[in-house]
Amino acid sequence: MKQVLVTGATGHVGYNIVQLLIAKGYRVRAGVRDVAKAGYLTALGAEAVAADILDPASLQSAVQGVDGVFQVAAVYKVTARDPQKEIIEPSIEGGLNVLRAAKAAGVRRVVFTSSVAAIGMDAGGEDRALTEEDWNTKAKNPYNYAKTAAEQAAWDFAKANDLDMVAINPSAIIGPGFFRHTPSTILFEMLLRGRLPVIMPFTLTFVDARDVAAAHVLAYEKQEASGRYICADYNTSLADLMPLCREVDPTLKVPGRMLPNFLLPTAPLFDWLGHKFTGAPRAVTSETIREMANNPIRYNSDRLRLQLGWQPRPIHDSLRDTLDWVRSNFLK
Mapping DSSP to helix (H, G, I), strand (E, B) and coil, where does residue 6 land?
strand
Residue 247 domain flag:
no
Residue 140 domain flag:
yes
Average pLDDT of the chain to the nearest whole number: 94
- pLDDT cut 90: percent of the chain above it: 81
3-class SS shares of the chain: helix, strand, coil, % to 5: 45, 15, 40
Per-residue confidence (pLDDT) for residue 242, from 0 to 100:
97
Average pLDDT over residues 112-120: 97
Mapping DSSP to helix (H, G, I), strand (E, B) and coil, where does residue 186 land?
helix
Residue 286 domain flag:
no
pLDDT at 76 over 90: no
Binned at pLDDT 50, 70 and 90, residue 273 comes out as confident
Residue 263 domain flag:
no
Gap between the Cα atoms of 9 and 172, Å rounded:
18
Binned at pLDDT 50, 70 and 90, residue 302 comes out as very high
Residue 250 domain flag:
no
Residue 116 domain flag:
yes
Considering only CA atoms, give the Rg of the chain: 19
Average pLDDT over residues 135-155: 93
Number of structural domains the chain divides into: 1
Longest dimension (CA), the chain: 57
Q: Which of 140, 147, 159, 222 is catalytic?
A: 147
Q: What is the CATH number of the domain that holds 77?
A: 3.40.50.720
Residue 290 domain flag:
no
Per-residue confidence (pLDDT) for residue 293, from 0 to 100:
82
Binned at pLDDT 50, 70 and 90, residue 92 comes out as very high
Residue 53 domain flag:
yes
pLDDT at 126 over 70: no
pLDDT at 249 over 70: yes
| 147 tagged catalytic | yes
Q: Could you tell me the pTM of the whole model? A: 0.95
Residue 117: domain span: 3-186+205-236+298-314
**Contact at 8 Å (CB) between 147 and 91?**
yes
**Contact at 8 Å (CB) between 85 and 26?**
no
**173: closest CA among 187, 162, 160, 190?**
187
Per-residue confidence (pLDDT) for residue 121, from 0 to 100:
87
Strands 47-50 and 68-71: unpaired
